């Protein structure tokens, strides 16, 4: 099968699972459920859960065992986007080609929608772990890894570095550290989760970790390049927001030419990490896709 066929197959599994899991109830608080659904079902690349399912298959596992963990990561990612868009954070009006959550539901409801998705993610992680009685310890280890990646040691910590850096120029090392946490930690969790659940060998986990770190950086570098050179209609949000917010990016720090070279090297290092692993073709193609994408 082709790369695009595999991506669609994985993303279709994710979409079906999410739609079956999302609560749609006629209850007094139903508007919070509508707000959660609004952002979660707005499309998007589903990069993180797709990577989880791909790694699971590569390692010979059952995707159905990993699917709840993969989708929980997508819920966490979506909550972070809702909160990132709030006026107190990046103050963005558009996301994925339509108004951001707070523009439709108001700031308070958007805040709660993010909270709701985060908490639902942990419900899903714990439920899936408790159901898997013969592999419960490994599943709980994966759930813990995801929680840590989403917290102050990972994504939230990276966001704090980003916020506090708005009034000064970061060094290259500081910028990498920020994005390894803010963007990279959840991508790494998506890739390592199936390895933890399937109890992969240490050398396999190490190779996947190296791959994840490099595609995490590549993903962010490409985002920074698209913010300057992309098409806002394709990207789905206004461009050059980083410059307006005085944020340090790989482009502002290195220049566009050097940023593109750094992107090339990051993809090269990612491919090098997994090229000798069996059935790693999808991961290799994913690294190339991240560098070539237009949104």
| Angle at CA of residue 226, ends 221 and 232, nearest 5° | 155
What are the strands, taking DSSP E only, across 108-228? none
Q: How many CA atoms lie within 13 A of 31 on its CB side?
A: 11
| Largest interatomic CA distance in the chain | 55
From 67, 103, 65, 61, select the one nearest 82 (Cα to Cα).
103
Determine how many CB atoms are found less than 10 A away from the CB of residue 171: 11
- With tokens 């090269």, the residue in question is 268
Structure tokens at 32: 């919070």
**Which residues make Cβ contacts (< 8 Å) with residue 38, sequence separation at least 6?**
101, 104, 105, 113
pLDDT tens digits for the chain (295 residues)?
Answer: 799 999 999 999 999 999 988 867 788 899 999 999 999 999 888 999 999 999 999 999 999 999 999 999 999 999 999 999 999 998 999 998 899 999 999 999 999 999 999 999 999 999 999 998 899 999 999 999 999 999 999 999 999 999 888 778 899 999 999 999 999 999 999 999 999 999 999 999 999 999 999 999 999 999 999 998 877 766 655 656 665 567 889 999 999 999 999 999 999 999 999 999 999 999 999 999 999 998 8
Kindly tell me the number of DSSP H helices and DSSP E strands found in the chain.
16, 2
Architecture of domain 3-287 in this structure: Orthogonal Bundle (1.10)
Return the structure tokens found at 212: 């994840």
Q: Distance between CA 145 and CA 87 in Å, rounded? A: 30
Closest CA to 276 of 58, 122, 78: 58
What is the spatial distance between Cα 23 and Cα 120, in angstroms, rounded to a whole number? 10
Distance (Å, whole) CA 13 – CA 7: 10
Locate tokens 């396999």: which residue? 204
- The DSSP line for 102-139 is HHHH-HHHHHHHHHHHHHHHHHHHHHHHHH-GGGHHHH
Contact present, 283 and 58 (Cβ < 8 Å): yes
Structural element, H or E, at residue 95: strand 94-95
Cβ neighbours around 252 below 10 Å, total: 19
Nearest to 186 by CA among 29, 61, 81: 81
Q: pLDDT value at position 287?
A: 97
* Element housing 98 (H / E): strand 98-99
- List the one residue out of 144, 133, 166 whose CA is nearest residue 242: 166
- Quick check: 146 and 189 in contact, CB under 8 A? yes
- Give me the pLDDT at residue 243, please: 58
Give CA torsion, residues 284, 216, 241, 75, to 10 deg.
100
């Amino acid at each position: 099968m082709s790369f695009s066929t595999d991506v669609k197959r994985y993303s279709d599994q994710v979409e079906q699972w999410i739609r079956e899991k999302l609560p749609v109830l006629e209850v007094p608080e139903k508007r919070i459920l509508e707000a959660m659904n609004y952002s979660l079902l707005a499309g998007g690349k589903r990069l993180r859960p797709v990577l989880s399912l791909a790694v699971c298959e590569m390692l010979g596992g059952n995707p159905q065992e990993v699917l709840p963990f993969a989708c929980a990561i997508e819920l966490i990612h979506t909550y972070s986007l809702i909160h990132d868009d709030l006026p107190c954070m990046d103050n963005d009006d558009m996301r994925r080609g339509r108004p951001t959550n707070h523009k439709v539901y108001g700031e308070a409801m958007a805040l709660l929608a993010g909270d709701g998705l985060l908490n639902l993610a942990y419900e899903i992680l714990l439920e899936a772990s408790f159901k898997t009685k013969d592999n419960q310890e490994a599943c709980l280890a994966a759930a813990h890894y995801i929680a840590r990646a989403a917290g102050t040691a990972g994504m939230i910590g990276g966001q704090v570095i980003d916020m506090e850096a708005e009034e000064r120029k970061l060094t290259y090392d500081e910028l990498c550290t920020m994005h390894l946490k803010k963007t990279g930690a959840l991508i790494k969790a998506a890739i390592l989760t199936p390895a933890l659940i399937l109890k992969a060998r240490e050398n396999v986990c190490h190779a996947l970790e190296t791959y994840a770190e490099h595609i995490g950086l590549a993903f962010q570098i490409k985002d920074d390049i698209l913010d300057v050179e992309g098409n806002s209609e394709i990207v789905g949000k206004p461009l050059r927001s980083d410059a307006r917010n005085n944020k340090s990016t790989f482009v502002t720090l290195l220049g566009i030419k050097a940023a593109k070279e750094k992107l090339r090297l990051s993809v090269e290092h990612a491919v090098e990490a997994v090229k000798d692993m069996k059935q790693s073709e999808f991961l290799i193609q994913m690294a190339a896709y991240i560098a070539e994408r237009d949104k």
